[in-house]
Amino acid sequence: MTTLTSDSMIDTESIAATAPRTHGRLQSAWGRCFAAIYEPLMRATENGGNAARRAAVLAHARGTVVELGAGTGLNLPYYPPDVELVLTEPEPPMARRLLERLQQSGRKARVLQAPADRIALPDGSVDTVVCTLVLCTVPDVDATLTEIRRLLRPDGRLLFIEHVAAEPGTRLRRWQDRLARPWLRLAHGCHTNRDTEHALRHAGFALEAVHHGQMESELLLRPLTWGTAQRSAA
């Protein structure tokens, strides 16, 4: 794990050297391209309503906040000013862009370059965990949710915005299942058909204020769920 801060110099060589080697050369090259095009690809979705959704969900963040898969930092403007912010991102190209945005924002935060299921923070040390369009990409969603439960204090909450599998038997679900493997490679680890709400309940989270809708300007990834979940007792 690499630890960076908002006042760190951006050293692309050291970031690359200490990054986990999770991809081959071709995937790493595509990872750099994906980081560069991610925000342009998301622009219509964000402008269409997802930015407002981020703001509404992240208004509930409090205390020590850990964001998993912070990407290029699209959530940064929406955090309350009084939270203690820890941003995690496993991919070096995304981490570099995240650092740049963090420095431009003037906010103070720690940046941990680490995968979502291995965060080097103590048990029960976090008030809020944030996942926005992240649980679709983690290789092992159950391991990630177990890690979130480990990090959260007993009264801690998970704030989430996630695209999810369409209803079984629908035309969209058939397309999600059919395109799952090629999409996984094209979208740098994104799963088209995860039942995230089921995974949350199975992991022991109590779903609280949960909303359902559609992600703007998307076709294959249209079904969306967002809200809060509490770390229920083991």
**Strands 152-163 and 126-132, how do they pair?**
parallel
pLDDT band at 113 (very low <50, low <70, confident <90, very high): very high
pLDDT greater than 60 at residue 196:
yes
Could you tell me which residues come within 8 angstroms of residue 100 by beta carbon, excluding any fewer than 6 positions away? 10
Asked if residue 72 lies in contact with residue 46, where contact means CB atoms within 8 angstroms, the answer is: no
Average pLDDT over residues 74-81: 98
Average pLDDT over residues 2-12: 43
As beta bridge partners, residue 3 has 112
CA 48, CA 216: separation in Å to the nearest integer?
6
50 vs 67, 119, 189, CA distance in Å?
A: 17, 27, 21
pLDDT band at 193 (very low <50, low <70, confident <90, very high): very high
Q: Which two tokens stand for residue 142?
A: 């159950």
CA 112, CA 89: separation in Å to the nearest integer?
7
Q: pLDDT tens-digit profile of 21-65?
A: 444 555 578 789 999 999 999 999 999 999 999 999 999 999 999
pLDDT band at 178 (very low <50, low <70, confident <90, very high): very high
Beta strands in 33-151 (DSSP E): 64-67, 84-88, 109-113, 126-132
CA 208, CA 108: separation in Å to the nearest integer?
30
pLDDT of residue 232: 76
